[in-house]
Amino acid sequence: MRRPVLLVGLLVVLISMLFVGNAALAKPATGNNSISAQKCQKGGYALLAKSTSPDVKFTSETACTSFAAGGGTIVPFVPSTATPTITNTPVPPTDTPVPPTDTPVPTATPGPCLGLTQGYWKFNTDHWPASHPTTQTLQAVFDVPDQMLLDDTTLLEVLNLAITGRPEVALLREAVAALLNAATPGMSYALTEEQVIDQVNTALAGGATAMQTLTVTLDGYNNAGCPTFPFV
């Protein structure tokens, strides 16, 4: 009768061991419940990540279930929101030459030659008009009173005379420049030769005040300017 008892006892032991083994195999994952671990299956791991690294998803089902079984917390995968670093690719320089422009620059047209000073005519005797050479005397052109003692003085010589205290010399120096300006072809002088001669003769006969007044007038005409200097 003892053999059946032993068999019954052995059977009880085997049943107990089988129950304990199945219980161990059925142990749920710690930290995550079995439902979380099941999410790793059938490709679900691709949408899951560790709670410590939510922006790094699992790469395999095994890694996912192992982490859940070890007590790790599984959370939904959240992509990183970090701003990507933008690298500026340098643009190679172009060697295409820029063609030059051939647009001509307009040049201003010079104005007329209105008058040159006595100083110009004094130092540019080669520009004197042929009708009035440097050797021509004052008396050959103007009606110079005899008491002035200038009858035989040439047109060039009077330009070198001192004018201090001598209004007639000051006038005749400006008169010579005015005469040459008026006689030069192409010059747009304010007076003609005849006008210059007539006005000078009148002033010489009229006294100091008349001579001084005409000297100032002729000096203004002679300083009118000549953009195309030298004129000839």
The per-residue pLDDT for 31 is 40
The per-residue pLDDT for 36 is 63
Condensed to tens digits (0 to 9), the pLDDT of residues 107-149 reads: 656 668 899 999 999 999 999 999 999 999 999 999 999 999 9
The per-residue pLDDT for 45 is 72
Give me the half-sphere count of Cα atoms (radius 13 Å) on the Cβ side of residue 37: 18
**Residue 75: helix, strand or coil by DSSP?**
strand
The CA distance from 154 to 148, in Å, is: 14
The per-residue pLDDT for 221 is 96
The per-residue pLDDT for 72 is 78
**Residue 68: helix, strand or coil by DSSP?**
helix
The CA distance from 228 to 178, in Å, is: 18
Which residues lie below 8 Å from residue 180, measured CB to CB, with a gap of 6+?
116, 121, 128, 129, 132, 155
Low-confidence ranges of the chain (pLDDT < 70): 1-37, 42-43, 82-88, 91-95, 98-111, 229-232
Six-digit token pair at 33? 């419940």
Q: Read off the amino acid at residue 195.
A: Q
